[in-house]
């Protein structure tokens, strides 16, 4: 048996040691950014501002959750921003104009996202259109549809307000946790939006790590052909991944409508890039096969903390774009450095 | 041997430009090891990919367990109990071994959509134990060597309780003791009544392991013989069928020739370890070794396609810093990749555009405009010279056969006036007839004073073409042989000569890691 032991034992190569490092790095970066802004401005580390940061992260964070799945399969979804808007408009139409019950309107908004994602998935996996092109097309289609639907009421493009249904705004801005938090932190008015983000993140993390869908997401991104040869129906699972991504966009649509108390049909373009940036900063590889939900959430917080901090420092918005862009490039460059070492 | 398990008859398959299978047939009994042999391009893998549902057949019938079956997908094949272990490794690096073994049929708990990680780890452990494989199911696939990944693939196929197990060159990357282990497992399966299809180029293995041997040639069925009653020479005779290769290099050794390329102490991580060699004018230097031995890495490093940690490269005696393919081309080095379509050709462009690709500067006039007539005349000259079979120089390269595509790449580097040509698997994916033409061309190039470094995994090809042979294993050069002294056995011994000290340290470390 001695020979067999020698031959078949696995040499442990510390190849993946630095995977955790990137996540740690991102987290450390978040802490540093936070510390720096706290030092520079007395208005930064206040309860109100922290709530503001959390609130600002919610929508982008939920979008980024869906994008994480897509990117782990080595795909891309450019349509998440405008699909979010379309979902918001659908909720607006059903709840505010048609007067349907709020839960039903929310469901329709979320499902609108699922359907858009499903169509993305079918175009990509059945018609074999590259994800970049398919979702670019969907991005424009959803944008157009959102604008068209917003004209139904008055014949011109205009936002749909939820003023008749005040309960809808409570979805995001209300705080079911406040009574619980009151004894320890009375000033800390944690809006539901943050709760929704964390619940969605937990669900996403569970799906990615513990379910069949998550397993195939990683497998497809790692080696699509090998996955197919293992007897996995790759086309179907890929479709499911895009549908899941769309579902998160739908949820984000409902959230942004609630937060703005209106469905803004012209909104949405550019959101997909923030979401992709969050995913990438969080250490998910664009070449597929690896990525974590925790990383994505950290990435989303890095972006919103930076934006918030720079605004508090009175840095003009134009420069905020520049900084975010440089951070994205830096994050991907670190990822490439890490790969080269392997 | 048991009952007839499988019978394929009259199988036809065509790919664009290639008639891969013509009236191919094959049968398999329960509890037999049936070897399928033939040269590259004979159609063995194609036939087995049809059986395992990867390709669909154009015509013919497959009878399995007494019934006519249509195998439309890999999944359908698995359901029938037919699995194939592919030549190219097919593991997902980002998943653990257990996740790899059970991908596509994970046991789930307690709700239908949830994975049961503990269960697959336990089942995979049991599977590894039955194979005497000392691996932790929770290890990531990326952490294993090529040989170990292959063993995991075999474990994966075994886990299907397959009735038919197809192994495509399973020993290509294994050492002697690993092969013994594999054979032990194969015999164990045979005794359980599994039918095993064994595709291999290593004919000496077939006598050891197989019961019957079926020979294929150029997509046709040749014969099926009893393994005990046939000699290796007879098998080779059936495989080759006609004299297709020159028997030995035509160019005599010319040791007084000048050294055109010298490499000293080349290093990059664990992929290239202290590699030194010289290449002389008019010489074909063969680079032999198993998959993953580091030959392509050395070629790419010399060509400037990958960075190196340390080492010196001398071109015609002058120390040269080659930091990019552009530098390499400027110093007269051309690299013909093993993956022509990805790295060698712009298949969507015409023959003439590809031939001019590496040397466009030659064809640019004073105003920065490409001189089309000059491109055309050079391209036409090489099409004639290399007898590239194409309807015209405007033809898209995509539409040419593999052999002619390879000639276009050669034409490209000749146009660029390269003195040193690195051929990486020059005949991979090229049909048998076109192969001999590539060989003739290589000989002619060497005659004309070009220096050729030829990487090949086909030992007969190395032996027939090379003046000298360098053998690599695990990133190191383990030996050098002259054409006169080289035999398949000697090359294989060098190709599997692992560095003892390194292996021992790694293993003791691994053993410790596994104790916990």
Q: Which residues of B touch A4 (CB under 8 A)?
A: 132, 134, 177, 181
pLDDT band at A109 (very low <50, low <70, confident <90, very high): very high
Among the partner residues B104, B135, B511, nearest to A231 by beta-carbon distance? B104
The pLDDT mean for chain B works out to 82
Beta bridge partners of residue A91, listed in sequence order: none
Among the partner residues A216, A229, A290, nearest to B94 by beta-carbon distance? A290
Mean pLDDT of A15-37: 73
Q: Taking CB atoms and an 8 Å limit, are A11 and B74 in contact across chains? A: no
Among the partner residues B91, B99, B511, nearest to A226 by beta-carbon distance? B91
- Tokens 């030194």 appear where? B276
Burial B352-385 (b: 16+ CB within 10 A, else e): bbbbbbbbeeebeeeeeeeeeeebbebbeebbee
* Architecture in CATH of A53-341: Orthogonal Bundle (1.10)
Q: Which residues of B touch A221 (CB under 8 A)?
A: 94
pLDDT the model gives residue A75: 95
Q: How would DSSP label each residue in B335-381?
A: EE-SSIIIII--TTSBHHHHHHGGGGGGGB-TTS-B-HHHHHHHHHH
Mutate to test the interface with B, among A2, A3, A4, A8 (most CBs of B within 10 A): A8
Higher-scoring residue by pLDDT: B340, A28: A28
How far A331 CA sits from the closest chain B CA (Å)?
21
Q: Taking CB atoms and an 8 Å limit, are A222 and B93 in contact across chains? A: yes
Among the partner residues B75, B178, B510, nearest to A10 by beta-carbon distance? B510
Q: How many CB atoms lie within 10 A of CB B417?
A: 12
Q: With CA atoms as reference, report the closest residue to B413 among B447, B441, B391, B372.
A: B441
pLDDT above 60 for A14: no
Mutate to test the interface with B, among A9, A17, A216, A342 (most CBs of B within 10 A): A9
Q: Is B4-240 in CATH node 3.40.50.300?
A: yes
pLDDT the model gives residue A53: 92
Higher-scoring residue by pLDDT: B514, A91: A91
pLDDT digits (tens, 9 = 90+) for B213-235: 999 988 889 999 998 888 877 88
Among the partner residues A12, A214, A218, nearest to B510 by beta-carbon distance? A12
pLDDT digits (tens, 9 = 90+) for B331-366: 889 888 877 766 677 777 888 888 888 777 777 776
pLDDT the model gives residue B433: 63
Which class does domain B259-345+417-501 fall in? alpha beta
Length of chain B: 516
Spatial separation of the C-alpha atoms in residues A231 and A219, rounded to whole Å: 12
How far B36 CA sits from the closest chain A CA (Å)?
21
pLDDT above 80 for A169: yes
Residues A162/A261, Cβ–Cβ less than 8 Å: yes
Angle at A78 between CA A75 and CA A83, to 5 degrees: 120
pLDDT the model gives residue B1: 58
pLDDT above 70 for B255: no
By the CB < 8 Å criterion, does A2 face chain B?
Answer: no
pLDDT digits (tens, 9 = 90+) for A221-231: 988 888 888 77
Mean pLDDT of B49-57: 91
- Report percent pLDDT > 90 for chain B: 26
Going from N- to C-terminal start, the domains of chain A cover 53-341
pLDDT the model gives residue B429: 67
Domain with CATH 3.40.50.300 in chain B: 4-240, 259-345+417-501
Q: Which residues of A touch B86 (CB under 8 A)?
A: 229
The pLDDT mean for chain A works out to 87
pLDDT digits (tens, 9 = 90+) for B269-283: 888 999 999 999 989
By the CB < 8 Å criterion, does A1 face chain B?
Answer: yes
Q: With CA atoms as reference, report the closest residue to A325 among A281, A283, A269, A268.
A: A281
H-assigned helices in B109-256: 117-130, 146-158, 176-191, 203-209, 232-240
How far A338 CA sits from the closest chain B CA (Å)?
14
Q: How far is CA A294 from CA A66, A275, B138, B156, in A?
A: 13, 14, 22, 32
Among the partner residues B54, B114, B509, nearest to A210 by beta-carbon distance? B114
pLDDT digits (tens, 9 = 90+) for A304-318: 999 899 988 888 888
pLDDT the model gives residue A186: 66
By the CB < 8 Å criterion, does A261 face chain B?
Answer: no
Mean pLDDT of B24-52: 88
pLDDT the model gives residue B513: 41
Out of A42-51, B28-37, B292-301, B499-508, give the one with best mean pLDDT: B28-37
- Tokens 């969605």 appear where? A200
Spatial separation of the C-alpha atoms in residues B491 and B485, rounded to whole Å: 10
Q: Worst-scoring range by mean pLDDT, A101-105, A128-132, B28-32, B302-306? A: B302-306
């Amino acid at each position: 048996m001695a020979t067999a032991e020698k031959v078949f034992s696995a040499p442990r190569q510390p190849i993946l040691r630095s995977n955790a490092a990137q996540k740690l790095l991102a987290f450390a970066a978040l802490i540093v950014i936070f510390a720096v802004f706290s030092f520079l401005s007395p208005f930064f580390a206040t309860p109100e501002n922290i709530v503001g940061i959390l609130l600002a992260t919610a929508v982008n964070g939920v979008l980024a959750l869906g994008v994480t799945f897509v990117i782990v399969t080595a795909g891309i979804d450019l349509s998440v921003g405008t699909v979010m808007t379309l979902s918001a408009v659908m909720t607006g139409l059903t709840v505010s104009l048609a007067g349907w019950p709020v839960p039903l309107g929310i469901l329709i908004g979320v499902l609108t996202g699922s359907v858009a994602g499903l169509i993305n998935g079918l175009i990509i996996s059945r018609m074999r259109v590259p994800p970049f092109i398919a979702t670019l097309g969907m991005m424009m289609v959803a944008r157009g549809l959102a604008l068209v639907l917003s004209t139904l009421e008055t014949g011109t493009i205009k936002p749909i307000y939820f003023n008749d249904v005040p309960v809808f705004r409570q979805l995001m801005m209300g705080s079911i946790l406040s009574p619980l938090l009151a004894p320890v932190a009375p000033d800390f008015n944690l809006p539901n939006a943050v709760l929704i983000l964390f619940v969605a993140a937990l669900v996403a993390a569970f799906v990615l790590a513990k379910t069949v869908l998550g397993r195939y997401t990683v497998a497809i991104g790692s080696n699509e052909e090998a996955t197919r040869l293992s007897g996995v129906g790759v086309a179907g699972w890929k479709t499911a991944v895009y549908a899941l991504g769309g579902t998160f966009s739908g949820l984000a649509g409902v959230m942004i409508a609630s937060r703005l108390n209106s469905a803004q049909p012209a909104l949405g373009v550019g959101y997909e890039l923030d979401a992709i940036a969050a995913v990438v900063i969080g250490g998910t590889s664009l070449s597929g096969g690896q990525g974590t939900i925790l990383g994505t959430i950290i990435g989303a917080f890095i972006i919103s903390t930076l934006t918030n901090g720079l605004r508090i420092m009175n840095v003009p918005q134009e420069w905020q774009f520049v900084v975010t862009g440089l951070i994205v490039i830096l994050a991907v460059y670190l990822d490439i450095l890490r790969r080269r070492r392997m | 041997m048991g009952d007839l398990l499988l019978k394929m008859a009259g199988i036809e398959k065509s790919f664009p430009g290639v008639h891969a299978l013509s009236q191919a047939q094959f049968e398999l009994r329960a509890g037999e090891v049936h070897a399928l042999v033939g040269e590259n391009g004979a159609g063995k893998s194609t036939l087995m990919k049809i059986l395992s549902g990867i390709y669909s057949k154009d015509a013919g019938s497959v009878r399995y367990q007494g019934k006519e079956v249509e195998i439309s997908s890999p999944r359908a094949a698995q359901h029938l109990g037919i699995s194939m272990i592919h030549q190219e490794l097919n593991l997902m690096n980002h998943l653990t071994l257990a996740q790899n073994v059970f991908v596509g049929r994970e046991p789930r708990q307690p709700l239908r959509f949830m994975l049961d990680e503990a269960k697959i780890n336990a089942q995979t452990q049991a599977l590894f134990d039955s194979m005497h494989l000392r691996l932790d199911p929770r290890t990531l696939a990326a952490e294993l060597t090529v040989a170990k990944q292959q063993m995991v693939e075999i474990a994966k196929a075994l886990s299907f309780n397959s009735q038919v197990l197809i192994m495509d060159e399973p020993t290509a990357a294994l050492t002697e003791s690993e092969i013994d282990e594999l054979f032990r497992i194969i015999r164990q399966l045979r005794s359980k009544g599994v039918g095993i299809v064994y595709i291999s180029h290593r004919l000496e293995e077939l006598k050891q392991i197989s019961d019957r041997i079926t020979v294929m040639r150029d997509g046709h069925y040749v014969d099926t013989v009893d393994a005990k009653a046939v000699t290796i020479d007879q098998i080779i005779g059936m495989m080759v069928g006609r004299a297709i290769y020159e028997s030995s290099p035509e160019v005599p050794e010319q040791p007084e020739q000048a050294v055109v390329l010298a490499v000293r102490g080349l290093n990059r991580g664990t992929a290239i370890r202290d590699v030194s060699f010289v290449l002389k004018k008019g010489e074909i230097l063969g680079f032999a070794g198993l998959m993953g031995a580091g030959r392509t890495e050395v070629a790419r490093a010399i060509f400037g396609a990958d960075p190196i940690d340390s080492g010196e490269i001398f071109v015609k005696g002058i120390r040269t810093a080659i930091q990019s393919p552009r530098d390499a081309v400027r110093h007269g080095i051309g690299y013909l990749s093993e993956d022509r379509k990805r790295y060698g050709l712009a298949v969507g462009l015409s023959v003439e555009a590809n031939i001019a690709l590496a040397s466009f500067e030659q064809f640019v006039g004073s105003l920065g405009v490409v001189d089309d007539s000059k491109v055309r005349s050079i391209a036409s000259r090489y099409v004639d010279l290399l007898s590239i079979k194409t309807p015209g120089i405007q033809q898209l390269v995509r539409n040419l056969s593999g052999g002619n595509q390879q000639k276009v790449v050669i034409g490209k580097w000749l146009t660029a006036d390269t003195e040193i040509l690195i051929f990486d698997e020059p005949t991979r994916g090229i049909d048998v007839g076109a192969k001999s033409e590539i060989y003739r061309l290589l000989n002619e190039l060497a005659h004309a004073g070009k220096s050729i470094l030829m990487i090949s995994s086909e030992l007969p090809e190395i032996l027939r073409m090379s003046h000298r042979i360098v053998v690599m294993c695990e990133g190191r050069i383990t030996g050098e042989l002259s054409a006169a002294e080289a035999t398949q056995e000697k090359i294989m011994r060098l190709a599997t000569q692992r560095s003892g000290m390194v292996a021992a340290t790694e293993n003791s470390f691994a053993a410790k890691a596994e104790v916990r």
